[in-house]
Chain A
Amino acid sequence: MSFFSKGYEGFILFISLFIFLFTPALARSEENRYLNELLKAASGKRLHSDRYWEILLHYKHTVFGTESPIDDPKFFLSPDGKVNPEGEIYATIKAFFDSSEGNEHPLCRFPARYMWLKDRLNIDEARLPDVTCTDLEDAVKKVNPKSAVLVFPTFYMNSPAFMFGHTLLRIDGAYQSELLSYAVNYAARTDGAIGFVNAFKGLFGHYKGYYSMLPYYEKVKEYNDMAQRDMWEYSLDLTEEEVKKMFLHFWELKDIYSDYYFFGGNCSYDLLFLLEAARPDLKLTERFGAWVLPVDTIGVVYEAGLVNGVRYRPSMAARIKHVSSLMEDEISGDAVLRLVNGEIRPEDVLSQTSARDEKIRILDLASEIIQYRYTDKKLDKEEYSRQFLSVLTARSSLGRPDESVSSMPEPPRPDTGHGSSRFGIGPGIKEDEVFSEIRFRPVYHDLLDPEDGYLEGSKVAFGEVAARYYHADGELTLESLDIIDIVSISPREGFLKPLSWKGYTGILNKTFSEDRDHLVYSLKSGVGLAFKSRAIGLYYLFLESDVNLGDRLDSGYSLGIGTSIGALKAVNRFWKVGLSAEGFAYGVGDSHKEYKVTFAQNFMISRNSSVTVDLSRSETFGVSEEEAKIVWNLYLLPLRKK
């Protein structure tokens, strides 16, 4: 290795000498002499293996050698810069002497590299070409980077697909208002519609990911108001100088692409490079497993001692829920509903006899519900602006309330929840056969898992595998492989009337006769209604369909429809109970019936462990079976220190 790098160094010196001797125009130029001096100094100090150089180029060492995950050739000044840190550093120094002018000059495009090299090599600016970087100067002036915040837009009801969340960085300047800060975001760039195929392509690196910087108010609008996602803002303990470095590195990444992989080189992972550019000894990007979940990166940043404050920014729907829960008076709630349904006019609210503060609450809530319904496509543009403006006009005549609405209570922070992978093991008994079960779920959350930081009534599980060892048979068998299992039980309460839904695809054991289970493939989906009451908790009803494929089925398949009902209650923070009953009638293909009743409980032991007790009774193909099992669950973080 060292032989080769020495060789390279010699090559560089040779080239420099070549230029020095045979290019008369440049030959004895002062610039060239200085370039050679700097190249020698860089090589002498072995700067190419300095950690900061590796951060700025995103170099990673793997068994295959050193490589940067950045794919855009524009990012590298040497043709093999992607895999050659040493060649890249010499090419970079050389490029500083480039004779081009203006914003595309390497000094303007790579200010973080320049600032660092300038510091390490004591570069004398006067001996470099005189370049003015107007774009960069304007941006620095406008963004005015002073402090930074890691933002995590979380999930909201009925969108477990968003469960993974997302992270972005907010760079705060001199303005008091956070809305005027700038958000750095890494996302796939699609040209044209965001379609089904395109989304699929996003998984496998068919898209290019780009960094962007937009006003924070655009992001608040997008997440809080449109997607109904609460946002968590973790302010970072970085100095102004460090934040400036981060900004300069963002500038280098601007308009630079990398192939975008949803599970890997995704938003959260890439933002960590920016944090490292701010403070190189953080070593955040060195810790990751097979996949990176945004919420896990927050845990890592926390662990690094970088967080010095957390703020909660509720979504519009969360605010609506909160304010309507404060309205004890049924008449007021009714007035809001009639108002947004157009049955009464805002002026009618004004002429009501109720207290002024109550009128204010009615109109305030109505205006948010009108906005919510517009984003939910329940109102068209014209209807929306007409309703919105007339409610606000009435509202503006009432002044400010004597008593402000109490601020929203904060839900548990997303980073305080259980680890996103789960490993479980425990004994069970099916009829009179004793078994041991072992299961693993890479991601993410189950209906009965401890709820802190997660969303009530939601399940997102990918790739959960369970195997059983029946002691009598003495063999280990696959019990189930849940490729995907998503459930969203969202209660219809107050002014929000969501539909609940579920989807499942996977392989599971089905009982065909007294003594034999066989694996079948199942694709299940369902829609339903859910409600919530203080006594029962969440209760729900689903209509479902199921497609089964398997060679043990007559004609190899079976189509059925079914229904399920159930209730889910968190008795307290540590104890959750679920009761459910489902029945399916399979008519097409192999016709048969299937029923199942399950009573399950989960006891949280600590943040990252719990015990589940399951009791169930099922009947398939006329064979009924009872089963009981106890599973000890251990929750793990996929991000590990190397």
Chain B
Amino acid sequence: MDFFSAMDISSSALTAERTRMNLISSNLANANATRTAEGGPYKRKDSVFAAVPLPESFRSVLSRMEQAPRKVEVNQIVEDQNPPRLQYDPTHPDANPQGYVALPNVNVIEEMADMISASRAYEANVTAVQAAKNMALKTLELGR
């Protein structure tokens, strides 16, 4: 009986969702950034999640020859390779000779939808942690 691995799993998800939220914030903040250190407009960043097994002792692996619950981690952060948005604005200092400015390939509406999804997932994991905590505390009350 181990509530701590439940908390381990849920907190790994909290970390992953928060990383995702950070990337969304970064995308929103840079929705109009035309200059970056690498040159060119900002590119939308996205996270790739992967399910990873919990670190386990050799004994517990032996005693349990079955599929163990897996936690989650941000495996990779990828840049969206879609072409930048082109907007006609000849007065902009970064405009090309034709008068078009290359703006980041960030779709603000898409980011907002992603943000809601990330925050709901975060809440669900918080609920799971609370459930584990309540179960553990109630067990301590046994025999009072």
B and A form one assembly: no
Residues of A within 8 A of B (CB): none
